[in-house]
Amino acid sequence: MISYETFCLNCRDVEERIRQTCVHFGRSYAEVALLPVTKTHPKEAVEYAKRYGFKAVGENRIQEAEDKQMACKDIAIEWEIIGHLQSNKAKRAAESFHRIQSVDTDKLAGKLARGAEEVGRVLPILLQVNAGNDPAKFGTDADAVAALLESVLKMPSLRVDGLMTIAPLDEDMEVARRCFMRLREVRDQLAHSFAVPLKELSMGMSGDLEPAIEAGSTMIRVGTALFGLRS
């Protein structure tokens, strides 16, 4: 694990990349949040994030996230799930996490809604869209999001904040850029036809945050550039 000092330097570097990209594309720095992704890293990563002033961390696996939450009981921070969630774990997830960014089926949404209802909360979610048509990625197809959104909007224990995507892994940054532009388009269309804000566009990671900001990202999810390589 890197030292807290190194983590701070990494944060400054990433923040500077975000700031310069915002300037370049005429966006406001305040509109682009940074979510530190602590997956595979020990609980110190969560401590660093809290100490630096982040309000949330991202984790991609339920079991690992729950174990880390137990180890971090005394740290007041929000936990967001950004990885694929099996519907048999949805009930637990609806109780334990602040927001689920990876909702991609009606079945999963239904189970999350019931889980949230049972504990009497409204669970914030994002719909994960496979905007890059990548066979290796989860997420609903871009042309099926409308149906999913329509169904989720009927579930009062869920609150849809927006959309999330992961770009296909490709050296050509144009591939990521097209994926992010597509997500933005899909969001704009849905927001218009359903008359809902869908404000959040969670897109961009360590290697592709620039095209994500260009396309309108409101949340960059960064692991490697903050905490170093995952083992």
Residue number of the CB atom closest to ligand PLP: 223
Question: Which parts of this chain interact with ligand PLP (CB under 6 A)?
Answer: 37, 39, 60, 82-83, 166, 205-207, 221-225
Q: Shortest Cβ distance from residue 126 to ligand PLP (Å)?
A: 11
Q: Shortest Cβ distance from residue 228 to ligand PLP (Å)?
A: 9
Q: Where would I find the beta strands (DSSP E) of the chain?
A: 33-36, 56-59, 78-81, 99-103, 123-128, 158-164, 200-202, 219-222
Closer CB to ligand PLP, 145 or 225, in the complex = 225
Closer CB to ligand PLP, 162 or 223, in the complex = 223
Q: Scan for tokens 């969001």, then name that residue.
A: 187
**Quick one: which of 208, 184, 180, 218 has its CA closest to 34?**
218
The three-state secondary structure class of 203 is coil
Check: CB of residue 200 under 8 Å from CB of residue 219: yes
Q: Determine the angle formed by the axes of helices 173-194 and 145-152, rounding to 10 degrees.
A: 40
Q: Shortest Cβ distance from residue 3 to ligand PLP (Å)?
A: 19
Q: Shortest Cβ distance from residue 117 to ligand PLP (Å)?
A: 26
Closer CB to ligand PLP, 186 or 222, in the complex = 222
Closer CB to ligand PLP, 41 or 178, in the complex = 41
